Amino acid sequence: MGAGGDDVDVREISPMAWRLLRVAAGYSQRDVETEVDDIMQAHISMLESDTRSLSDDRLEQLFDTYRANLTDQQIEVLVVNF
């Protein structure tokens, strides 16, 4: 894991880890709608339930939003263990 989770492959993050990252960063699914352009609550719900993914650009944008509110250690624990 690099500084700030820079070397995380967002395509490899599990649905459970996406949910835990969101919650740990202090966001509800609705909060993400207002924080990230062109992402709706339904997109987050589908990502976290493993019924649909987002484009790589959207995944990166979402990850960056969560990462801004988390420590490197938090990111590593959630991504590696879940």
Residue 5 is predicted with a pLDDT of: 62
Judge whether residue 1 has pLDDT over 60.
no
Residues 6 or more apart in contact with residue 40 via CB below 8 angstroms = 33
- pTM equals 0.89
- Reported as half-sphere exposure (CB side, CA atoms, 13 A), residue 38 has a value of 6
- Cα 43 to chain centroid distance, Å, stands at 12
Q: Which residues of 43-63 are buried (b: 16+ CB within 10 A; e: fewer)?
A: bbeebbeeeeebeeebbebbb
Residue 3 is predicted with a pLDDT of: 44
Judge whether residue 2 has pLDDT over 50.
no
| pLDDT tens by residue, 4-54 | 566 889 999 999 999 999 999 999 999 999 999 889 999 999 999 999 989
Distance between CA atoms of 54 and 3, rounded to whole angstroms? 24
Contact 65, 22 (CB under 8 A): no
